[in-house]
Amino acid sequence: MITRRCFCSSAPRPWLFVGLGNPGDKYKGTRHNVRLICITRCLMILFFVAFLSFVGDAPLLLAKPQTYMNLSGESTGALAAYYKLPLNRVIVFHDDMDLPCGVLRLQDKGGHGSHNGLKSVIYHFRGNREFARLRIGIGKPPGQMDPKAFLLQKFSASARERGGSGSNLLATVTDRAFGPLIQ
């Protein structure tokens, strides 16, 4: 278990990767939880090798908050505050309907883009938007489909083939991104 004592002032500050999503089996495999799939993949890569991972000399914390999406900031803000992390050491993984399914975009800062989970995170970071986010494309709802219903829908077989569920594209990306960290 990682404790606060691991992060004394002379040691490098840790990185915090947070995957926003909804807890519980009801939401497992849905578009809204695609970032949890990515964080889980990171956990599998990193923690099958070691219990504590590092980015260079800095510890890496991977978090899957157990709050619902619209309340994500409660746990994310508390975790960043507990470890006294500056926001430039936080990366939030979240779904994005404005990106095609399986497309990833890393931004160093920005707004919430009408994403309620990000709104909550920004609120609990006291309005500060100076944190990185990994936007994970889930595509737009087809036709006149309600966006909320689309978010809570499980991925189709064709979306899984394109990597939307984390099985292909996200596995490749996390293998490339985190593979060098564990060697």
Residues acting as catalytic residues: 32
- What are the C-alpha distances in Å from 167 to residues 105, 160, 172? 18, 7, 9
Only one residue has tokens 């990171």, namely 42
* CB proximity list for 23: less than 8 A, separation 6 or greater: 65, 66, 67, 68
Looking at the DSSP assignment, which residues form a beta bridge with residue 134?
93, 106
